[in-house]
Amino acid sequence: MLFSLYLTEPHLFWHNLFSYSDFLQSCILNLQPTLQKTQEMKLLIIEDEKELSDSIVCFLSREDYLCEQAFSFVEAVSKIEIYDYDCIMLDLMLPGGNGLDILKKIKKKPSVAGVIIISAKDSLDDKVDGLRLGADDYLAKPFHLPELSMRIFALLRRKNFTGSNILKNGELTIDLLCKRVSTNELALDLTKTEYELLLFLIENRRRVISKSALAEHLSGDIADMMDDFNFVYAHIKNLKAKLQQAGISECIKTYYGTGYKWILEE
C-alpha cells in the first residue's frame, strides 16, 4: 500500500514514512517512562518558531513532562491524529494553516487534552474565538516561561489529572478551592496578592523566577508599565515574614535581588 502511495503521491509517502518513524520513536519513549514512573504528562508544543519551542521544551522538561514539538500545521495535525496528549500548547499563526482549525480537530477527538493557546496575535477576537472553540486557556506572547508552567499546572489540575485540590509542600498545605493556606492545621492569614505569589513560587519550585515574571503574574498588563518591580520585593518580604511567623523559615531564596526560588523540600 505504501509503495502504491509512493508511485502516486511521493510527498505523502515520505510524510507517512516520517510519521511512522515518529510513531516508533514515541512508542519507545512511551515505554521507557512507564518503567520508571506511573504518571507522566505528555505535552505537545505546536509553535513554528523553533527557538521559542526549544526554550519551552527545555524549561518544561525539568518537570515530569514529556514534551513533543510540532513546527507546522501538517506536522501538528498528523501528530494529533496519531497520539494522545494531556496538554497541547497551540500557536495560532502557523505555516500551512490556521491554529484554530487544529483546535477544531483536537476537539473532535474523544481525548480530554487541554489546550492552551499561545499567540502573538493579541487581538481579542482570537481569544474569544479560541475559547469558544474549546480552548482552556489563552496566553499572549511574549510570556514568561514560569507563567506558562503555572498555567499548564493549573490546567492539568483542573482536568483532574493530579486528583486532589490540596497542594502539599513540607508543612504547608494549600487548599486550592478555598484558597486557604495552613501549616499544621494553623491557618495563615495571607492577602490575595501574597496567596498568588506563594502559589506561583511553589508551583515553580526548583526554579529561579525573575522579578519581572512575578510582577507580571501579580498585576498582569499593568506590570510592564512600571519602571521597577520593587513592589514585588515588598510583597515577598511580607510573605516571608508571615511564613516565618508560622514557623517556616528559609523557604524563599533570593538571588541578588533579581530572582526568587522556592527551596522548601517536599
State the residues that interact with other proteins by CB under 8 A: 49, 51-52, 55-56, 58-59, 62, 120, 122-124, 141-146, 192-193, 207-213, 218-228, 231, 235, 255-259
CA count, 13 A, side-chain hemisphere, 176? 18
In angstroms, the Cα distances linking 76 to 65, 108, 245 are 18, 15, 50
Select from 169, 166, 172, 176 the least CA-distant residue to 188: 172
- Nearest CB to other proteins, comparing residues 65 and 173: 65
- Nearest CB to other proteins, comparing residues 123 and 164: 123
CB of 55 vs other proteins, minimal distance in Å: 4
CB of 8 vs other proteins, minimal distance in Å: 38
- CA separation for the pair 237, 168 (Å, rounded): 22
**Which residues on neighbouring strands pair with residue 168, listed in sequence order?**
173
- Nearest CB to other proteins, comparing residues 146 and 173: 146
Q: Are strands 209-210 and 259-262 parallel, antiparallel or unpaired?
A: antiparallel
CB of 255 vs other proteins, minimal distance in Å: 6
**Is the peptide bond prior to 142 cis by the omega test (within 30 degrees of 0)?**
yes
- Nearest CB to other proteins, comparing residues 161 and 231: 231
CB of 73 vs other proteins, minimal distance in Å: 17
